[in-house]
Amino acid sequence: MRPRTRWRQRGVCALGMSAALMVSAAACGSSGGSSGGSSPGSTDSAAAQSLGPSKPATGDELKIGFITDGSGTTLDNSTEVAAAQAATSYVNDYQGGVAGHRLSLTVCNTKQTPAGATDCANQMTAAKVPVVLMNNSGNVTPVFKVLSAAKVPLVLDINGDESTLGAKSGAYILVSPLTAALAGPAQVAKDAGAKKAAIFVLDVPGATGPVNSLDKIFYAKANVGLTIQPIPPGTADATPQVQTVLAGKPEQVNLVGDPTFCTGVLKALKTLGYSGSIVLQSQCVSPGAAAGIPGGYDGMKVVSGQTTNVADPEYKLYLAAMKKYQPDTDPTAKSLTAGGWVVTLGFSRAMAGLTAPVTSAGVEKALATMPKTKLPLGGTATFQCDGKQVSITPAVCSTGGLVQTLDEKGKPTSEQPLDVSSVLP
């Protein structure tokens, strides 16, 4: 039992760093895209069809918390609030509210600081909200510290850090950061029948830590040989490192780092004539860098937690609700926008078994006993917050994701469902 405990501690620590990478990636707000080759706009009749029949909430108001990093000097996360409000209106008008109650959000802005996050959490406990929602934030730890002490559950989109990922209760992460960041590429390699793979990783602790601690496990479970090649920040020409790795003839390469790092490695791969599969993290993709990469991002893959397929009913619903309730917010301009929709609608769906009176304990019971439920914008993925989906981190509620194939500019042209459960320890 002791070795398993040590593995769990190392795994959760590395997952915390990995989740931090995912937070920064989403917060950068990479441009959204639509697969399927058609415009995201829709006619009024099509939007009405996507929204479905009206079913207004009739009960009293139910106030819950929503904490955002808002808009600041380096990030602008304000559109996530608009998406969350659109989800709230949709739930109230078309889903009968939450346990019959008309849902409303009590919103607090952290001002992108730990002190602001602590203040927001204190405001939520003072307001006696039964639950708090968050999308993507770099300030989860101070929020969870306050809420867990007050026994107020925290529901997150793909976000998470060591405090929440290691929590046995009180934290619920709907979209697994594990899938997109680490286990997803290993599953892609396994599904393709690859025998050898390589990871080029930016040589900083927040990147190399998770890769060394976890990817070796995931690729071993996938029965794929793995070479890990760290490359120092600021490396002007990655060709020597890339050439050394390619001598081992990997059938798939995975890149973990920021856009500048990834662009440099991709240029080297193309220059050296690599023709195998390339799997990127979402933060690698920068439309402005596409022109500097021979062939751009054409044919490369990204593991994502959100569909951008205009034919997908969940995506149609999202666009229709945003058009109806938040017409001044572009639902596809930033990848983080949709996270506000996902966490709010996901919470509502998870509360199907909630009964009055609505308390924090009641919310946690509803989450713990919920059946598998369709994950908003998750394609075919489902979520279930029973603590059993990922053994090393019970807070994570799902193992599914999507593999998107990109065009030259980095826009998704197609996507396939992905489940990483077979490569998890």
Domain limit, last residue, from 244, 279, 304: 304
Please state, in angstroms and rounded to a whole number, the distance separating the CA atoms of residues 98 and 138.
29
Q: Are residues 105 and 170 in the same domain?
A: yes
Give me the phi and psi of 115, to 5 degrees please.
Answer: -65, -40
pLDDT band per the 50, 70, 90 thresholds, residue 187: very high
Are 363 and 63 contacting, i.e. CB atoms less than 8 angstroms apart?
no
pLDDT per position as a tens digit, 1-26: 333 444 444 455 555 545 555 444 43
Question: For the residues 149-154, what does the mean pLDDT come to?
Answer: 98
CB 120 within 8 A of CB 67: yes
What band does 287 get if pLDDT is binned at 50, 70 and 90? confident
- How many independent structural domains does the chain possess? 2
Residue 220 domain boundaries:
179-304
Closest CA to 292 of 258, 268, 275: 268
What pLDDT, on the 0 to 100 scale, is given for residue 12?
A: 55
C-alpha to C-alpha distance for 111 and 137, rounded to whole angstroms: 11
Same domain flag for 45 and 78: yes
Express as a percent the part of the chain with pLDDT over 70. 89
Of the pLDDT bands very low, low, confident and very high (cuts 50, 70, 90), residue 71 is confident
In this structure, are 318 and 171 located in the same domain? yes
* CATH code, domain with 203: 3.40.50.2300
Note whether residue 89 is domain-resident: yes
Instruction: Of 179, 193, 182, give the one whose Cα is nearest residue 252.
Output: 193
Global pTM reads: 0.86
For residue 43, give Cα distances in angstroms to 49, 323, 332. 10, 10, 17
Q: How confident is the model at residue 140 (pLDDT cuts 50, 70, 90)?
A: very high
Strands 373-374 and 400-406: unpaired
In a domain, 408, yes or no: no
**What is the C-alpha to C-alpha distance for residues 350 and 354, in angstroms, rounded to an integer?**
8
* pLDDT, position 56: 96
Of 61, 135, 50, give the one whose Cα is nearest residue 94.
50
